[in-house]
Structure 1
Amino acid sequence: MLHSKTSWHSPAADPELVKDLARSLSISPLLASLLVNRGLNTSHEALLFMDGGEEEQHDPFLLKGMSEAVPRIRKALEEEEHILIYGDYDADGVSSTALMIYLLRYLGASFDIYIPHRSNEGYGLHNHALDWAVQQGVSLVITVDTGISAYHQIAYANGLGIDVIVTDHHEPPELLPEAYALINPKLPGCPYPFKGLAGVGVAYKLAQALLGEETPAEWSEIAAIGTVADLMPLLGENRQIVRIGLSSMRNSRFPGIRALLGVSGVTMNTVNSVNIAFGMAPRINASGRLDHAGRAVALLTTEHAEEAELLAGELDLLNKERQLVVERIATEATAKLEKVLEVGELPDIIVLADQGWNVGVVGIVASKLLERYYRPVIILDIHPETGMCKGSARSIPGLDIYAALSSCADLLDHFGGHPAAAGMSLHRDSIGAFATALNEYAASVLTPEHFVAVTVADAEVSLSELSLQAALDLERLAPFGMANPLPKFIVRGVTVKETRTMGQGGKHLKLVLQQGDSTIESVAFGKGALSALLPGGTKVDVLAELSVNEWNGSRKPQLMLQDLAVQDAQLFDLRGAVDAVEQAGQIRELLLPYSGNGPYRAAAVFQSGRMSPQSELKGMSLWVYDKEMGISALNNEQTVAEHEPVSLLCLLDIPETPEQLDALLTVFPDADNIALLHSIRDGRERLQIPTRDHFKALYKMLASIAAVAIAENEVLLRLSRQSSMSVRMLNMMLDVFEELDFIERSQGKILFITQPAAKSLTASRHFIRLGQVAEMEQYFMEGSRLEVQEWMLSRRLGAS
C-alpha cells in the first residue's frame, strides 16, 4: 500500500457550461472542461486566453512614473551622461539587466552595470555601490527588479547628485523612496491594468515607451525568461510576452540563448515555458547563487557564439555544482532533524542552522525539506567568525511566514518576503528563542488539517481520454506556469503492465499503464527506486500531466507522473537481497513519503542467530523469532498495539515453524506492506513436501544400512549420498520413523526395526509437521510473488 504524497481534489466543471463551450468553439469536452475550471466560461474569454490578442497589450505610459522617466533618459542621452544599470542576482534581475543593456546599446548610451553579490552584499541598492558610481561619473541610475524599498539609499544618491529611476515589481512599502521616477504597476494610484509584470516585464515596458514600434521583437525572449523564472502569473499581458518570446526563441539570433538552450538539452524548435523554468532558469540562477550573476548577464548579452558556448558551459557546471551543494546541505539538515525526532516530535515550523551552508542555496534546501515533511522550513547559514546567520524560509499554504517572522521581529536583524517565502538574518545566540517564538505563533494559527498537503487536479478521467489528440489540444492552453499550470489528471484503478528504470544508474522510473484496452507509457523523474515496489500487475491510482513524446518521427501520448497511490496491501519480493539489513533501511526511507498522514511505523523480524542490526535499522521496531512465543520484541519497550498497524514489515529471515509464522501474522495483522528480504536456500538444503514414495525409499535404504546399530551421523551421511534429499529433510523423516517405532535411537546410534507394527504415516505428528514446514518453505523459497501474497493472506485469516 502506497499512500499518495498529497491529497488529490478535482473540481467538477459545470456540465452545461462545458457542453456549450465545446459546441461553440468546436473543441473537445476535455479541453472545454479545463477552460471552464480556469474561469473561462465564454467563447470570447476562452479564445482570448488560447490565441491572445491586442487587448492583452497595454500602453506603457499607463505606468505611473513613465512620463517622468522617459524624458529624463532622453536628456541623459542628449547630454551624454553616464548611466548605471543597477540589477539583481536572480534570473529576473539578470534578464532585466540584460534587457536594459540591449536598450542602452540600441540608444547609443554610455553606461555601466552593477549587480550586488548575493553572499557578500545581499539584495538591494547599497550606498557603497553608489559611491563607486560617483567615481565612475554616473549621474543617472536606473534600477531593474529592485529599488522600491530603497528609501534611505535613494536619499543618499540624491545627496550625491545622482538621479534614480526605479523600475521594480515588488510590493511597495508604506514609505516610498523619493526617486526621480518610480515605475511599478503595484504603486498606489497606478492606473496600469495588469499588476503581474515581472521585473523584466517593467523594464520591457520602459523599452517600449522609449522606442515604440521600433522595439525589437526578439527582446521579448529576454522578457519571457525573467517572467517565467520569477514565477509570475502567466495570465494577461504576461501570456502575450511569453508567447511572443517563445515564438522568437525557436529561431533565436541571440548566441547566449542558443547556447543556453543547448546545454539545457532543449530542442530549439520546440522550446516552451517548462524548458525555461526547469532548464534555463536554474543555470542562470546558479551564477548568482555560487558565483556572481555578472557571468549570466554576459551570456545573455554577448554577440559572439564562441564566448556564448564558453559561458553556457560554465553556467552548466555551476548548476551541477549547485545541485551537489544542495544535496549535501539537504542531507546534513535532514540528519539534524532526524536526531531531533529521536527524542521529540516534528515541530510545526522546522528551524535548522549550521556553518558551511551556502546562503545562496538554503532556499532550495528549505523547499526540499518542506516537500518531505510538509512543514514550514527555515534554513540558516552561520558565519563562523561573526556568528551572524542568513537564511531562507519556505512555507505551506496555512501559514503566512512573513507574518510569523513579524511576530518575532525583535529577535531579527532584518527580514523580508511574502506569505510563501522569506529571507532573514539574526545572531546565532537568538536561534533557540527564534525557533520557540515561531512555533508558539504557529500553534495559534495551524490546525492538523493544515499539515495535509493538497493537490488540485483539473479532472478525473479514464486512460482512454488521455489520447494523442487530447495532448495536442492541451497545447492551446500554453504557455504554462504560475496561475496557469500544466493540467493534472487523476486516473484511478490502472494496472502496471511493465516496470523498468531508465537514465544513468536507473535514476528514473518508466511504467506502462493499462486500463481496459488503453495503454500509455508513464515517466517519473527521480523515482527509479520505486521500481521494486511497483511490479507488473499492481493496481495504482495516478496523478499525472499529459504530454507528447516525440522520438524518431513518431508521436504518442505520455504521462509525467506527479504522484501515485496503491490502495491494497503489497508484498515486495526482494528475496535474496545481498544485504537484507541495508535493503530494509532503504525501503523504509523509500516508503516514508508514501506512508500517509498517520505515524509511520516500520518493523523488522529476524532469527535470533542473526547479529543484532539495531544500529542499521534506526526508526524500526526489532523482533526475533522465538521457540516459546513464536515471536518476541528485541526490546521490551518495542510493542505494537492492535490499533497501531505498521506501515512496513521487513522479514530479514523466514520463520522456521508454522507457529512462528502464525505468531508473526497475529502480532502484525494489518501491515500495509511486507518486504521479503530473506536469503534463498540452496536447492539441496531445502525441504520437500513429503510423500509415501519418499518414506518407502528411505525405509529400503535404512533396511540395508541399519540392520545393526550404527552412528546416526554416518546414517545421515550415507543416506544423503544415496538420495536427492537434504540432510534436514532426512533428519525430520527419521523423527517420523522414530515416532512410528520403525527405528530406535539410542546414544547417538540408530537401529532399524525389522518387523514393526503397521502404522499410517498420517498418525505421526512429525509427518504432519514436516508437511507444514516444507509447504511454508516452498512458498517462501519458490512461490511467485502473487502466490506468496495469497498464501500469507490465507494464513493471516487463519491466524486471526
Structure 2
Amino acid sequence: MQKRWVLKPKNDSNKVNNLKTELGVNDIVANLLVSREVQTFEQARYFFRPSLDHLHDPFLMKDMDQAITRIERAIGNKEKILIYGDYDVDGTTAVSVVYSFFRTFHTGIEFYIPDRYAEGYGISTQGIDYAAEHGFTLIIALDCGIKAIEKVDYAKSKGIDFIIGDHHLPGESIPDAVAVLDPKRSDCAYPYKELSGCGIGFKIIQAFILKNNMDMEAAYQYLDLVAVSIASDIVPITGENRILTFFGLKKLNTNPSVGFKALINLSTNRTGVFSVNDIVFQIGPRINAAGRIEHAKDAVRLLISKSEEEAKNFSNAVDDQNNVRKDFDLNITKEALSLIESSTDNLLRKSTVLYKSDWHKGVIGIVASRLTEKYYRPTVILTHTNGHIAGSARSVIGFDLYEALSECSDLLEQFGGHKYAAGLTMREENIRLFQQRFEDVVQKTIKPEMLQQEVSIDLEINLQHIDSKLYRLLKQFEPFGPQNEAPVFMTRQVRIIGSANIVGNNHLKFTIRQGDSPGFDCIAFGLAEHFDYIQNQNAFDICYTIEENNWRGKKNLQLNIKAIRY
C-alpha cells in the first residue's frame, strides 16, 4: 500500500534562528528541537541532560498526603495490605514496584491480579471478596479504579479502604476512596499528566520515601520496571516520562532486576543494548502473554523474583506462554486474512468486522492491530467467550473509533476504550446487525485520506547534510517513542550506486547518492516492490531515519527507508 507523505508544517523561523544562535547548532537540529517545544537554552539543557532531580514533587499530586498517611497507619497498625493491579504490562509492573518496595519492611502484604477471563478489566467484586475473606483492610489499586465507584462503595461496606492510583481519564464522578491519585483529574495540579500506571506507583513510593526521610535509591532501583511500563503502554515519552525512561533504560542495560535479566537472556537481542522499541517487541509481549494465556500473576512472580534461579523458572513459564500466544496469533491472523481475501464484499468495505467462535480472546486485540496495519481501516475482531460475544477494536489515524461504537451502542451490551482502541461485548444475534451498522457509520464519517497510511516527515534535507556529527546529536534526542519519535527525513532525486538486492522476506538493500554527495547504505524493509524501478538507475524520493549499522565490529551510518516514491 502506497503511503501518504505528510511533511510537518514549517517552524517559526525566529524561534529556529534564536535557538541556533543560543546553542550553536545547525538548522536541522534547531528545527527538530523547536518541533519538540524546546525553544530556549534552559529547555535544551533539560532535554539533552535529563536528571532525576528534575522529577516533580509527588506531593503535588492531589490526595498524595492522604494516601501516604493511610499507608503509614496501615503499616503502624500491622494491617494487611493488598496491592491490586491490571493484568497487562503496565498493571503488572506497577504491582511489582509497589509490592516489592513495601514488602521490605511490612510483612502483611500480598498482591492480586484479576483473571482476564473470569473477572475482566479493573476492580472486581471477586477481588474485593478475596480481600474481605483474608482480612485485608487496605487495597492499593494501580493502573485501574478511576471509574470503580460502585466497587469502592462495596469494599467500604466490608470494612476495606481503597487507595486508587490510576492514569486513565476519570468519569464525571470520582470514587469515594481514601485517596484517588490520577493526574488527569480536573482538580489535580500535578504538572505532568501522562504518567503510566506504574509511574503513579513509583510516585507513591517516592512520596513515602520523602515523608520518612529514606534514601531515594530505594525507589530508583525500580526504574527499569517503570521504563518497561512506559514503553509497553505507549504513553508519551515527554517530560517526566522521558526522564524515567532515560534512567530506566540505563538500569535495564547495566544492572537489571533478576526478573528482567532472565527475560533478556531469552530475547533475540544480541547487541546487549535495549531501546524502547526492543521493550515493545521483546520484553512487553512476554509479560503480557501470562495474562493472555494463563494468569498475569505469573508475570508478577517473575518481576518480584529475588533469586536468579526463581526468576529463570518463572521466565521460562512466561516464555512458554508467549510461544503459545504467538501460535494463536499466527493461526487466527491467517484465518482472518482468509476470510477477507475470499470475499469481494469484505475486500471492498471501509471497515473490517470478523467473527469466529473459537478464536482465543487473549489475542484478538493483537489480530485486530495486524489487520488494521495491513488493510488500514477500522477493525473489530469478535469471538465467543463466557456466554457472550467479546470484541477488540482498533482504528486508523484520525478516525474516532469510540464515537463510531457509540453510534452502535443499542446493539452492544457494553463497550469502552478511546479513539484508537476499544473493547466491546454483544449478544450473538446482533453480530450481523453490528457488522452492517458499523460499516455504515464508517462509510459516512471516515475521510478518504484516513484510509491511506501516512508517514510523518520532520524535515526535507539533502544527503550532504548527513554526517557523524549530526548522528551523534540525533542520538541525544533518545529515548525515542510517542511524541518524541526518531526524526524522519525526506530527500528528493536520489539514485542507486551499483545494484540493489532483495534480501530476506521482501526487503531491499542498496546504496544511494544525491548528485555528488557521499554514498549511503540503505535498508528498506518490505519495499521490494520498488526493485525494478530503482535498479534501472531511475531517480526517486525517499523518507528515512538515520541509524548506525554495526556489522562484525564495523560501524557505518545507514538510512532506514520508510517509503519510496517516484
Structure 2 counterpart of 1:418:
418
97-106 or 202-211, larger mean C-alpha shift: 97-106
Q: Taking structure 1 as reference, are residues 286 and 524 closer, same or farther at Cα in structure 2, changes over 3 Å only?
A: farther
Mapped partners of 1:310, 1:536: distance in 2: 55
Unaligned runs of 5+ in 2: none
1:261 pairs, out of 246, 264, 267, with 264
Structure 2 counterpart of 1:436:
436
161-170 or 451-460, larger mean C-alpha shift: 451-460
Q: Taking structure 1 as reference, are residues 332 and 540 closer, same or farther at Cα in structure 2, changes over 3 Å only?
A: farther
Mapped partners of 1:362, 1:344: distance in 2: 18
Alpha-carbon contact 1:250-1:268 (below 8 Å) kept: no
Unaligned runs of 5+ in 1: 568-800
Letter in 2 for 1:50: F
Aligned residues between the structures: 559
Letter in 1 for 2:286: R
Alpha-carbon contact 1:11-1:459 (below 8 Å) kept: no
Mapped partners of 1:245, 1:95: distance in 2: 13
Letter in 1 for 2:173: L
Mapped partners of 2:54, 2:434: distance in 1: 46
Is 1:510–2:509 an aligned residue pair? yes
What is the Cα deviation at residue 554 of structure 1?
2.9
Instruction: Name the % identity.
Output: 34
Structure 1 counterpart of 2:293:
290
Structure 1 counterpart of 2:349:
347
What is the Cα deviation at residue 513 of structure 1?
2.9
Aligned positions of 1:423-502 closer than 5 A = 423-497=423-497, 498-502=499-503
Is 1:302–2:305 an aligned residue pair? yes
Mapped partners of 2:338, 2:539: distance in 1: 34
Letter in 1 for 2:186: P
Structure 2 counterpart of 1:601:
none
1:77 pairs, out of 56, 59, 75, with 75
Structure 1 counterpart of 2:228:
225
Letter in 1 for 2:509: K
What is the Cα deviation at residue 137 of structure 1?
1.7
491-500 or 217-226, larger mean C-alpha shift: 491-500
2:190 pairs, out of 186, 189, 192, with 192
Letter in 2 for 1:348: K
RMSD (CA atoms): 2.4
Q: Taking structure 1 as reference, are residues 509 and 240 closer, same or farther at Cα in structure 2, changes over 3 Å only?
A: same
526-535 or 252-261, larger mean C-alpha shift: 526-535
Mapped partners of 2:559, 2:411: distance in 1: 48
Alpha-carbon contact 1:218-1:252 (below 8 Å) kept: no
Structure 2 counterpart of 1:214:
215
Mapped partners of 2:346, 2:253: distance in 1: 54
191-200 or 298-307, larger mean C-alpha shift: 298-307
Mapped partners of 1:39, 1:488: distance in 2: 17
Structure 1 counterpart of 2:562:
562
Letter in 2 for 1:88: D
Residue by residue, what CA displacement relative to the aligned partner does 1:456-502 show, whole Å, maximum 9, x if unpaired? 21111222323332222111111111111111112232223443355
Mapped partners of 1:564, 1:331: distance in 2: 28
Mapped partners of 1:364, 1:508: distance in 2: 24
Structure 2 counterpart of 1:238:
241
Aligned positions of 1:558-707 closer than 5 A = 558-565=558-565, 567=566
What is the Cα deviation at residue 269 of structure 1?
5.9
Structure 2 counterpart of 1:68:
66
Residue by residue, what CA displacement relative to the aligned partner does 1:173-207 show, whole Å, maximum 9, x if unpaired? 11322122211111121111111111001000000
What is the Cα deviation at residue 171 of structure 1?
0.8
Structure 2 counterpart of 1:126:
124
Mapped partners of 2:113, 2:31: distance in 1: 46
Q: Taking structure 1 as reference, are residues 472 and 379 closer, same or farther at Cα in structure 2, changes over 3 Å only?
A: same
Letter in 1 for 2:352: I
Mapped partners of 1:94, 1:344: distance in 2: 38
Letter in 1 for 2:236: P
Q: Secondary structure at the match of 1:398?
A: coil
Mapped partners of 1:470, 1:112: distance in 2: 50
Structure 1 counterpart of 2:378:
376
Letter in 1 for 2:260: I
What is the Cα deviation at residue 526 of structure 1?
5.6
Aligned positions of 1:651-800 closer than 5 A = none
TM-score, reference length from structure 1? 0.66
Structure 2 counterpart of 1:640:
none
Mapped partners of 1:241, 1:60: distance in 2: 14
Q: Taking structure 1 as reference, are residues 558 and 406 closer, same or farther at Cα in structure 2, changes over 3 Å only?
A: same
2:135 pairs, out of 108, 113, 137, with 137
Q: Secondary structure at the match of 1:355?
A: coil
Mapped partners of 1:551, 1:344: distance in 2: 44
What is the Cα deviation at residue 6 of structure 1?
3.0
Q: Secondary structure at the match of 1:119?
A: coil
1:174 pairs, out of 152, 172, 175, with 172
2:315 pairs, out of 312, 317, 320, with 312
1:329 pairs, out of 311, 327, 332, with 332
What is the Cα deviation at residue 264 of structure 1?
2.4
Residue by residue, what CA displacement relative to the aligned partner does 1:72-114 show, whole Å, maximum 9, x if unpaired? 1111111211111111111101110110121112232311211
